[in-house]
Amino acid sequence: MTAAMQDPSAPEARPLSQTQRAIALLREMIISNKLPPGSNHLESELAVMLGMSRTPIREAAIMLEAQGLVEVKPRHGIRVLPIAPADMEEIYSILTELESLAAYNLANSQPGDAALAELRQHIDEMDAALAADDRHRWARADDAFHRSLIRLAGNRRLETVVTTYSDQVHRARLLTLFMRPAPSASNNDHRRLVDAIAAGEAEAAQAIHRAHRIDAKNMMLKLIAAHGFSAV
Protein backbone atom coordinates (compact mmCIF):
# COMPACT_ATOMS: atom_id res chain seq x y z
CA MET A 1 0.00 0.00 0.00
CA THR A 2 1.40 3.42 -0.98
CA ALA A 3 1.54 6.34 1.40
CA ALA A 4 -1.27 8.05 -0.53
CA MET A 5 -3.53 5.04 0.00
CA GLN A 6 -2.95 4.73 3.75
CA ASP A 7 -5.76 5.55 6.14
CA PRO A 8 -5.08 9.13 7.31
CA SER A 9 -6.80 8.33 10.60
CA ALA A 10 -4.40 5.46 11.39
CA PRO A 11 -2.12 6.27 14.34
CA GLU A 12 1.52 6.86 13.49
CA ALA A 13 4.31 5.32 15.51
CA ARG A 14 5.79 7.96 17.78
CA PRO A 15 9.55 8.40 17.55
CA LEU A 16 11.48 7.35 20.63
CA SER A 17 12.57 10.09 23.00
CA GLN A 18 16.28 10.46 23.76
CA THR A 19 15.72 8.85 27.16
CA GLN A 20 13.90 5.88 25.59
CA ARG A 21 16.74 5.49 23.08
CA ALA A 22 19.28 5.62 25.88
CA ILE A 23 17.40 2.97 27.86
CA ALA A 24 17.19 0.64 24.84
CA LEU A 25 20.83 1.10 23.82
CA LEU A 26 22.29 0.77 27.32
CA ARG A 27 20.09 -2.24 28.09
CA GLU A 28 21.31 -4.00 24.93
CA MET A 29 24.94 -3.21 25.77
CA ILE A 30 24.51 -4.57 29.29
CA ILE A 31 22.71 -7.82 28.52
CA SER A 32 25.06 -8.55 25.59
CA ASN A 33 28.10 -8.01 27.86
CA LYS A 34 29.38 -5.05 25.83
CA LEU A 35 29.32 -3.27 29.19
CA PRO A 36 30.71 -6.09 31.37
CA PRO A 37 29.38 -6.97 34.84
CA GLY A 38 31.15 -5.00 37.53
CA SER A 39 32.35 -2.28 35.14
CA ASN A 40 31.98 1.41 35.99
CA HIS A 41 31.06 4.12 33.50
CA LEU A 42 30.80 7.89 33.74
CA GLU A 43 27.75 9.64 32.33
CA SER A 44 30.02 11.70 30.09
CA GLU A 45 31.67 8.53 28.73
CA LEU A 46 28.35 6.93 27.91
CA ALA A 47 27.01 10.15 26.42
CA VAL A 48 29.92 10.29 23.97
CA MET A 49 29.56 6.58 23.23
CA LEU A 50 25.86 6.97 22.35
CA GLY A 51 26.11 10.41 20.76
CA MET A 52 23.71 12.18 23.10
CA SER A 53 23.74 14.52 26.08
CA ARG A 54 24.21 13.44 29.69
CA THR A 55 20.60 14.11 30.71
CA PRO A 56 18.99 11.11 28.90
CA ILE A 57 21.89 8.94 30.09
CA ARG A 58 21.17 9.94 33.69
CA GLU A 59 17.42 9.33 33.28
CA ALA A 60 18.04 5.97 31.58
CA ALA A 61 20.40 4.90 34.38
CA ILE A 62 17.67 5.52 36.96
CA MET A 63 15.25 3.32 34.99
CA LEU A 64 17.84 0.56 34.54
CA GLU A 65 18.65 0.69 38.25
CA ALA A 66 14.99 -0.03 39.00
CA GLN A 67 15.27 -3.08 36.72
CA GLY A 68 18.26 -4.40 38.68
CA LEU A 69 20.79 -3.97 35.85
CA VAL A 70 22.91 -1.11 37.21
CA GLU A 71 23.73 0.81 40.36
CA VAL A 72 23.70 4.60 40.08
CA LYS A 73 26.61 6.13 41.99
CA PRO A 74 26.24 9.90 42.49
CA ARG A 75 29.16 11.79 40.91
CA HIS A 76 30.63 8.46 39.83
CA GLY A 77 28.29 7.37 37.01
CA ILE A 78 26.89 3.86 36.93
CA ARG A 79 28.13 0.39 37.82
CA VAL A 80 26.88 -2.61 35.87
CA LEU A 81 25.65 -5.04 38.51
CA PRO A 82 27.06 -8.58 38.48
CA ILE A 83 24.77 -11.46 39.46
CA ALA A 84 25.98 -14.09 41.95
CA PRO A 85 25.01 -17.76 41.49
CA ALA A 86 22.64 -17.53 44.48
CA ASP A 87 20.91 -14.58 42.82
CA MET A 88 20.73 -16.54 39.58
CA GLU A 89 19.00 -19.44 41.32
CA GLU A 90 16.40 -17.09 42.85
CA ILE A 91 15.75 -15.35 39.53
CA TYR A 92 15.36 -18.63 37.64
CA SER A 93 12.95 -19.90 40.29
CA ILE A 94 10.77 -16.84 39.76
CA LEU A 95 10.95 -17.14 35.97
CA THR A 96 10.06 -20.83 36.20
CA GLU A 97 6.81 -20.19 38.03
CA LEU A 98 5.76 -17.11 36.08
CA GLU A 99 6.50 -18.52 32.63
CA SER A 100 4.79 -21.78 33.54
CA LEU A 101 1.73 -19.78 34.57
CA ALA A 102 1.84 -17.99 31.22
CA ALA A 103 1.96 -21.34 29.41
CA TYR A 104 -1.05 -22.53 31.44
CA ASN A 105 -3.02 -19.37 30.69
CA LEU A 106 -2.18 -19.43 26.99
CA ALA A 107 -3.32 -23.05 26.65
CA ASN A 108 -6.57 -22.16 28.40
CA SER A 109 -7.18 -19.22 26.09
CA GLN A 110 -7.45 -21.43 22.99
CA PRO A 111 -5.03 -19.34 20.88
CA GLY A 112 -5.66 -19.08 17.17
CA ASP A 113 -3.57 -20.37 14.30
CA ALA A 114 -1.58 -17.13 14.04
CA ALA A 115 -0.32 -17.36 17.62
CA LEU A 116 0.64 -21.02 17.25
CA ALA A 117 2.32 -20.32 13.91
CA GLU A 118 4.39 -17.57 15.55
CA LEU A 119 5.65 -19.96 18.22
CA ARG A 120 6.35 -22.73 15.71
CA GLN A 121 8.25 -20.30 13.49
CA HIS A 122 10.63 -19.59 16.37
CA ILE A 123 11.13 -23.34 16.87
CA ASP A 124 11.88 -23.78 13.15
CA GLU A 125 14.45 -20.99 13.44
CA MET A 126 16.04 -22.74 16.44
CA ASP A 127 16.22 -25.99 14.48
CA ALA A 128 17.82 -24.21 11.52
CA ALA A 129 20.32 -22.52 13.82
CA LEU A 130 21.37 -25.85 15.33
CA ALA A 131 21.70 -27.42 11.88
CA ALA A 132 24.03 -24.56 10.95
CA ASP A 133 25.86 -24.82 14.31
CA ASP A 134 25.11 -21.15 14.97
CA ARG A 135 24.67 -20.80 18.72
CA HIS A 136 24.11 -17.04 18.67
CA ARG A 137 21.32 -17.43 16.12
CA TRP A 138 19.81 -20.18 18.29
CA ALA A 139 19.96 -17.95 21.39
CA ARG A 140 18.15 -15.14 19.57
CA ALA A 141 15.40 -17.51 18.39
CA ASP A 142 15.10 -19.08 21.84
CA ASP A 143 14.76 -15.64 23.43
CA ALA A 144 12.14 -14.67 20.82
CA PHE A 145 10.16 -17.85 21.59
CA HIS A 146 10.02 -17.12 25.31
CA ARG A 147 9.09 -13.46 24.78
CA SER A 148 6.32 -14.47 22.35
CA LEU A 149 4.99 -17.03 24.82
CA ILE A 150 4.71 -14.41 27.54
CA ARG A 151 3.22 -11.75 25.27
CA LEU A 152 0.63 -14.11 23.77
CA ALA A 153 -0.53 -15.08 27.28
CA GLY A 154 -1.94 -11.56 27.49
CA ASN A 155 -0.95 -10.54 31.03
CA ARG A 156 0.98 -7.27 30.73
CA ARG A 157 2.06 -7.13 34.36
CA LEU A 158 3.43 -10.65 34.18
CA GLU A 159 5.19 -9.73 30.92
CA THR A 160 6.86 -6.73 32.56
CA VAL A 161 8.15 -8.76 35.50
CA VAL A 162 9.40 -11.63 33.34
CA THR A 163 11.17 -9.25 30.94
CA THR A 164 13.00 -7.61 33.83
CA TYR A 165 14.28 -10.89 35.25
CA SER A 166 15.03 -12.34 31.81
CA ASP A 167 17.27 -9.38 31.07
CA GLN A 168 19.18 -10.02 34.29
CA VAL A 169 20.08 -13.61 33.34
CA HIS A 170 20.60 -13.03 29.61
CA ARG A 171 24.28 -12.18 30.15
CA ALA A 172 24.88 -15.53 31.84
CA ARG A 173 23.13 -17.38 29.00
CA LEU A 174 25.45 -15.74 26.47
CA LEU A 175 28.48 -16.40 28.65
CA THR A 176 27.73 -20.14 28.85
CA LEU A 177 26.36 -20.49 25.31
CA PHE A 178 29.36 -22.43 24.00
CA MET A 179 29.96 -24.38 27.22
CA ARG A 180 26.71 -26.32 27.09
CA PRO A 181 25.84 -29.32 24.91
CA ALA A 182 23.92 -28.65 21.69
CA PRO A 183 20.43 -27.64 22.91
CA SER A 184 18.44 -30.18 20.90
CA ALA A 185 16.48 -31.23 24.00
CA SER A 186 15.47 -27.61 24.54
CA ASN A 187 14.01 -27.42 21.03
CA ASN A 188 12.07 -30.63 21.66
CA ASP A 189 10.68 -29.17 24.91
CA HIS A 190 9.45 -26.13 23.02
CA ARG A 191 7.77 -28.32 20.40
CA ARG A 192 6.01 -30.41 23.07
CA LEU A 193 4.91 -27.24 24.81
CA VAL A 194 3.31 -25.78 21.67
CA ASP A 195 1.56 -29.09 20.97
CA ALA A 196 0.07 -29.02 24.49
CA ILE A 197 -1.02 -25.40 24.05
CA ALA A 198 -2.62 -26.21 20.69
CA ALA A 199 -4.52 -29.10 22.30
CA GLY A 200 -5.73 -26.87 25.14
CA GLU A 201 -3.93 -29.06 27.70
CA ALA A 202 -3.18 -26.33 30.21
CA GLU A 203 -1.82 -28.50 33.02
CA ALA A 204 0.44 -30.41 30.63
CA ALA A 205 1.73 -27.14 29.14
CA GLN A 206 2.48 -25.82 32.62
CA ALA A 207 4.30 -29.00 33.63
CA ILE A 208 6.34 -29.17 30.42
CA HIS A 209 7.49 -25.59 30.73
CA ARG A 210 8.27 -25.86 34.44
CA ALA A 211 10.47 -28.90 33.82
CA HIS A 212 12.13 -27.11 30.89
CA ARG A 213 13.00 -24.07 33.01
CA ILE A 214 14.22 -26.17 35.94
CA ASP A 215 16.55 -28.07 33.60
CA ALA A 216 17.83 -24.76 32.19
CA LYS A 217 18.47 -23.42 35.70
CA ASN A 218 20.33 -26.53 36.83
CA MET A 219 22.50 -26.55 33.71
CA MET A 220 23.32 -22.86 34.09
CA LEU A 221 24.31 -23.21 37.74
CA LYS A 222 26.47 -26.27 37.02
CA LEU A 223 28.30 -24.46 34.22
CA ILE A 224 28.88 -21.40 36.38
CA ALA A 225 30.25 -23.56 39.21
CA ALA A 226 32.37 -25.72 36.91
CA HIS A 227 34.11 -22.69 35.41
CA GLY A 228 34.62 -20.95 38.74
CA PHE A 229 32.50 -17.86 38.10
CA SER A 230 31.75 -16.05 41.36
CA ALA A 231 29.41 -13.69 39.50
CA VAL A 232 28.27 -12.94 35.94
Regarding pTM above 0.85, the answer is: no
pLDDT exceeds cutoff 70 at 3: no
The rounded distance, in Å, linking the Cα atoms of 1 and 184 is: 41
CATH topology of domain 18-80: Arc Repressor Mutant, subunit A (1.10.10)
Give dist(CA 89, CA 220) in Å, integer: 9
Task: Report the mean per-residue pLDDT for the chain.
Answer: 87
* Domain ranges across the chain: 18-80, 85-226
Give 26-67 pLDDT, tens digit per residue.
988 988 888 988 899 999 999 999 999 999 999 999 999 988
Burial grade of 212 (CB within 10 A; 0-12, 13-18, 19 or more): buried
Which CATH number does 85-226 carry? 1.20.120.530
Strand stretches in the chain, DSSP E: 40-41, 70-73, 77-80
**pLDDT tens, residue by residue, 58-70:** 999 999 998 888 9
